[in-house]
Chain A
Amino acid sequence: MRRPDFSTVVLWCGLLFLYLPMVILVIYSFNASRLVTVWGGWSVHWYVGLLDNTQLMSAVKRSLQIAFYTATAAVVLGTMAAFAMTRIRHFRGRTLFSGMVTAPLVMPEVITGLSLLLLFVAMAQVLEYLMGITFDRGMLTIWIAHTTFAVAYVAIVVSSRLGELDQSMEEAALDLGAPPWKTFMLITVPMIAPSIIAGWLLSFTLSLDDLVLASFVSGPGSTTLPMEIFSAVRLGVKPEINAIASVILLAVSLFTLLIWFIARRADKRSRMLPPEEERLRAQPQG
């Protein structure tokens, strides 16, 4: 047996560092004792208690709804953006466009949150002045904020797939007379489907996790799950929070496994393709 090298040892230590706190959290969520630091035997007491907490449950429902709409909108906009960035070499304002699409990836959330809130306040003033409509902040504004942020992630995921895609299939369909939109729907979309699904799931979890943006742009009565958790956590460690945090951890783990299976299947399929692709590439392209 070969001695593991330095980098492998660091990798294992790093993974331990990433996972140990979460494992400890889940174990402590089954602690019967109210005192979070003292072990009082196993119990599912705190999980059962969650179901009775109507405030928390309505926040869960609200967060899931926002996450669903966010993911759906972000996938549509993000795929379009990725398409524009990878397939259209020149158009007016291309630099600004790709800048706007990648910047949300790194922009500190407090800045994005504050700026969106101020936009919504200004929009409300304009709408009230021009049309007499009162525009309240709530789920709609959280959805807009989350979508803006998630588009960047979808665009990155999808454009990396579009970049490595063999374009000869699309060329062939176009040569055979298929209209562009049909080519896109029947050829391109199925080929990039795994990354579209991965982008959807990623946007869903991003939206479900966000605290800072939602805190800025939410209105009264639209408290999301992370906001509920945050206000409880500020006061210290609580067994109920351990339980809900463990549920979220479990849900995200299942989600990630799902994404992994989708990605792996796509990876296998694309590795089975090469001879076919080679053959297509060898043909003269007209």
Chain B
Amino acid sequence: MNRFLRRPSGKALVISVPYLWMFLFFLLPFVIVLKISFSQAAIAIPPYERLFQYADQALTIVLNMGNYIFLTQDSLYYAAYLGSLRIALITTLVCLLLGYPMALAIARAPRERQMIYLLLIMMPTWTALLIRVYAWMGILSSNGLLNNVLQSLGLIDAPLQILNTNSAVYIGLVYAYLPFMVLPLYANLVKHDPTLLEAATDLGASRIRAFWKVTVPLSRAGIIAGSMLVFIPVVGEFVVPELLGGPETLMIGRVLWQEFFNNRDWPVASALAIVMLVLLLVPIILFHYNQSREMEKKT
């Protein structure tokens, strides 16, 4: 036990201030979302009816299940959840296939060059997602750069329709989330002891076999962290499908946004958020468990 915080006042302060903030502005809001998902939409400000009513000395609590039943009745929502999960899964796999060799190359580079590569990987993540997605709009549009280049090379006769299709969404998502796969993988791979690989090859394993039998199993925590950092946010992604996708692109983040901003149906939007949260609970817990185990190892 660190003696730093022997004095109770300092300890209490360090814990309680961030605790209170996160409780108030991160955890408590979910309770309110849950509450509103059980209320009925109304034309009012705010646009929902009260859950608790006190009249004639009786407190009545009206739990309206209608929003959840509504979600099961309209196939749009079902398709949007399924579409989100599928798109997130494929994006994660592509990011892993592309990101693993990248992270491996960085981890095996000389130390000074590792820093430069890391900077190059990190920089895009600090640039607005909006702008990076916007850059693709100009490239993929039917009279955009890609089609112009392909046409002038004579590879295609008519411009390809890429923008506003699912292909554009996949390109945009992999583009936006690739760094989040590479960074945790690198952090894991760089800690590997190179003598283990030498031992494997000395004992007669081929380089490929040594990679599958030594490097991959050791990088499990990195694979989990990277995959979760891609999968979970992509399920709820809004900007990429909104700007690059078309009418065929059904993703739950987009549906929730429309339900909230265009239809002003706050209760249905809340129910959508709650269902999304339930779907993501297992991956989020997996991510958290993985993170805290890594942190325990360090201290």
Residues of A at the B interface (CB closer than 8 Å) are: 5-8, 10-11, 14-15, 17-19, 21-22, 24-25, 28, 36-37, 77-78, 80-81, 83-89, 91, 93, 97-112, 114-116, 118-119, 121-122, 125, 144-145, 147-148, 151, 155, 159-160, 163-164, 167, 170-171, 174, 180-181, 183-184, 202, 205-206, 208-209, 211-212, 215-216, 226, 229-230, 233-234, 236-237, 241-242, 245, 248-249, 252-253, 255-257, 260, 263-264, 267
Contacts and interface: CB of A to CB of B under 8 A. Distances in A.
Contacts of B136: 21
Given A11-B101, A89-B1, A103-B284, A110 B273 contact: yes
Contacts, number: 271
B21, B280, B284: which has the most chain A beta carbons within 10 Å? B21
Interface string B1-12: 111111100110
Interface of B: 1-7, 10-11, 13-15, 17-19, 21-23, 25-30, 32-33, 36, 46, 98-99, 101-102, 104-106, 108, 115, 117, 119-124, 126-132, 134-139, 141, 143-145, 148, 175, 178-179, 182, 228-229, 232-233, 235-239, 242-243, 253, 256-257, 260-261, 266, 269-270, 273, 276-277, 280, 283-284, 287-288, 291-292, 295, 298-299
A114 B126 contact: no
A176 to B, nearest CB: 13
Given A114-B260, A160-B298, A245-B131, A88 B11 contact: yes
The 9 A-B residue pairs with the shortest CB-CB distance, nearest first, are A108-B236, A115-B29, A10-B101, A163-B298, A7-B101, A11-B105, A209-B128, A81-B18, A7-B105
B15 A97 contact: yes
6 contacts: A24-B135, A108-B237, A111-B276, A245-B128, A252-B126, A252-B127
B126 A202 contact: yes
Nearest to A156: B291
A249 B127 contact: yes
A209 to B, nearest CB: 4
Contacts of B108: 7
Given A24-B138, A97-B18, A211-B239, 16 more contacts: A8-B105, A24-B135, A24-B139, A81-B18, A97-B22, A111-B276, A114-B33, A114-B260, A118-B32, A119-B25, A145-B25, A209-B127, A237-B137, A253-B123, A260-B119, A267-B115
